[in-house]
Structure 1
Amino acid sequence: MKSSKISLLAAAALAAILAGPAAAETSFKLSAVGSPGTPEIDAAMKFAELIGEKSNGEYRIDVLHSGQAGGEREIAEGMQFGTTDFAILGGIVQNFDPALMIVEWDLLFKNNDHVRDVMNGPIGDEISERLQKNLGAIKVATFMRSPRLLTTNAEVDDLDDIKGMKIRVPEMPARIALWRALGAQPTPMAFPEVVPALQLGTIDGQENPIGLITSTGIDEAVDYLADTKHLYGFMLLLSSESAWDRIPAEDQAMFKEAAAEAAAYNDELVEQSNEKGMEKAAAKMTVTQPDLEAWRAATADVYKQFETVEGFSDLYNRIVEAGQKY
């Protein structure tokens, strides 16, 4: 009996030797500032899950959410220096390539399909090249975000209604120029100050996605919501060049496939969140549907103020042209 056990052990050892060493798991970290429960982080988790399944455990992605890897700037700089493997980033990319201010340009994109058409086509390829050159990042997928809407202390049915209104906007030159062209008085302000400023009448309105409007008390501070969708936002799932180079070419297609599935999952979650948010807001606020054609006409030449930014005008005009069918 003893010799039989020894023989079995010897056979197992020989089999292990012949099979060679077990394949080492390759792990990556994906960094983002959002928290679980937000579409982009839930989609990041889905991406990690899909990679594990599709690779039979050969690859693992750990999601560092809630700012565990720092703010957007720190994460973006990590892409630049190769210390961040994967990341989900938004408008911060324009800090590294000013032409990419088109990522957060009011009234540029007509709808989500316009965004997808651009980002998944030749223009998106050019944006990818710029990201690789200026940020050291590879664009893997595009995640939609909730569009930005306008909330005010007076009803907004058309463009004339916002003339002279003090509207809080992020402190970004292009966005300030756009709202000034609309006839408003753009007022940069830190976000924590927005609700008190609305309540005191220091500002007349602000613009943000519906999720923030209903979760931060904005829907209690003012009575009117203009469903403008003036900015169709999106985020980019990026890989650093160094991380992408660690993935064999035959596996990169698998990563892109998983990313596309995760993007579809994200977009579905965004749509569900938008519907719930609008229902909640409509129970408290008067909702209007302004026609934005006049708004686009009023801001059509604002881009000329930024013509000195290398590559910007070309990207802008091509995106406008791509949107003519929407």
Structure 2
Amino acid sequence: DLAGKKMRIPSRTGGWVIEALGAAPAAMPVPELPPALQKGTVDGAFIPWEIIPPLKIQEQTQYQIEGFEEYRFGNSTFQVSMNQGRWDGLPEDIQKAFRDASGGDWPKQVGEIWRASDDFGINMAVEAGNTHITLSEEETAAFETALEPVVDRWIEDVKSKGVDGAALVEKARGLIAEHATR
């Protein structure tokens, strides 16, 4: 239950998520999170588990919550973007090198490395005496349901900029389903 809590947010859409869950968003860079937790400026944060070790989050918190079957409450996108004209101007062998380096098993390998980093952070927190809570399938589904209006809001927001947000969400969800552990 996040009602009445102040939660550190990573972005504008992160603020929408926190508001949809009944909490008040507090924008700050992640390095400011430990002192904010210590001083009570925020009550918690949605952050990846991998951030626990470098920021010693386990020293400022008692609980971490994860969704059913290692479900993440957020996903990050890593990309290399280039202007189409610049891409077209690259020699074919360089274009091939980019394609070869970004396809195949690379997304799976990155996911495995990320999960291992998350597991390290979770274990560090548990070893420090924190309680790691894994939500049930029903509880995780309730989060998804509560956040669907945020997805709709984002789709409308980017639509006003000429972007087909619905198609992007559909594609992203398909890729997440294909590559996620759940």
Counterparts of 1:189-268 in structure 2, within 5 Å, are 189-228=28-67, 229-241=72-84, 242=86, 245-248=89-92, 252-260=95-103, 262-268=106-112
Give yes or no for the alignment of 1:293 onto 2:141: yes
Distance 1:243 1:300 in 2: 36
Q: 1:267 to 1:298 in 2, by over 3 A?
A: closer
Q: 1:220 to 1:324 in 2, by over 3 A?
A: closer
Q: Check whether the contact 1:181–1:298 (CA below 8 A) recurs between aligned residues.
A: yes
Distance 1:289 1:324 in 2: 20
Aligned to 1:270: 114
Distance 2:99 2:158 in 1: 31
Distance 2:16 2:140 in 1: 17
Q: Check whether the contact 1:303–1:313 (CA below 8 A) recurs between aligned residues.
A: no
Q: How many residues align?
A: 164
Counterparts of 1:169-184 in structure 2, within 5 Å, are 169-172=9-12, 174-184=13-23
% identity of equivalent residues = 24
Cα offset, 1:180, TM superposition: 0.7
Cα offset, 1:288, TM superposition: 0.3
Cα offset, 1:315, TM superposition: 2.7
Q: Deviations over 1:32-56 (max 9, x none)?
A: xxxxxxxxxxxxxxxxxxxxxxxxx
Cα offset, 1:182, TM superposition: 0.8
Structure 1 portions without partners, runs of 5+: 1-160
Aligned to 1:41: none
Structure 2 portions without partners, runs of 5+: none
Amino acid at match of 2:4: G
Distance 1:237 1:320 in 2: 16
Aligned to 1:162: 2
Aligned to 1:29: none
Q: Check whether the contact 1:171–1:189 (CA below 8 A) recurs between aligned residues.
A: no
TM-score of the superposition, structure 2-length normalised?
Answer: 0.73
Q: Bigger radius of gyration, 1 or 2?
A: 1
Aligned to 1:31: none
Aligned to 2:150: 302
Q: Higher helix proportion, which one?
A: 2
Cα offset, 1:258, TM superposition: 2.8
Q: Deviations over 1:109-138 (max 9, x none)?
A: xxxxxxxxxxxxxxxxxxxxxxxxxxxxxx
Q: 1:207 to 1:304 in 2, by over 3 A?
A: closer
Q: Check whether the contact 2:7–2:25 (CA below 8 A) recurs between aligned residues.
A: yes
Cα offset, 1:259, TM superposition: 2.7
